[in-house]
Amino acid sequence: MLTGRLLELSALRYTPAGVPVLGFRIAHSSQQSEADVERAVGCEISAVALGPNAQLMAGAKPGEAVRLTGFLAAKSLKSRSLILHVNEIEFLEGNQNGI
């Protein structure tokens, strides 16, 4: 699970099988404790949503705060960079009307 602010959202696309897909990036920042030391951490993460989640994200705007649940996977067989596959999206400010 990860909270963050939406940075960029690409356009809603469809896979050859007709499944909606939307890639985006989020900025995460939080206070964390590590070896008894409090520290501020931050990172940017590439994420992708498929199906109804992609359609939900199509209505989102950069800057919106979200809580994401999903799994990490390699971007592709050739690229080891990580991408968060999102299974659950919660908008944290105000209610976000559904799809």
Paired tokens of 13: 């696309």
Euclidean distance between CA atoms 5 and 28, whole angstroms: 7
Contact with a copy of itself (CB under 8 A): which of 8, 44, 88, 90? 44
**Nearer to a copy of itself (CB atom), residue 9 or residue 49:** 49
Euclidean distance between CA atoms 38 and 88, whole angstroms: 29
**Closest distance to a copy of itself from the beta carbon of 61 (Å):** 22
**Closest distance to a copy of itself from the beta carbon of 56 (Å):** 12
Count the residues of the shown chain that bind a copy of itself, applying the rule CB under 8 A. 28
Is residue 56 helix, strand or coil? helix
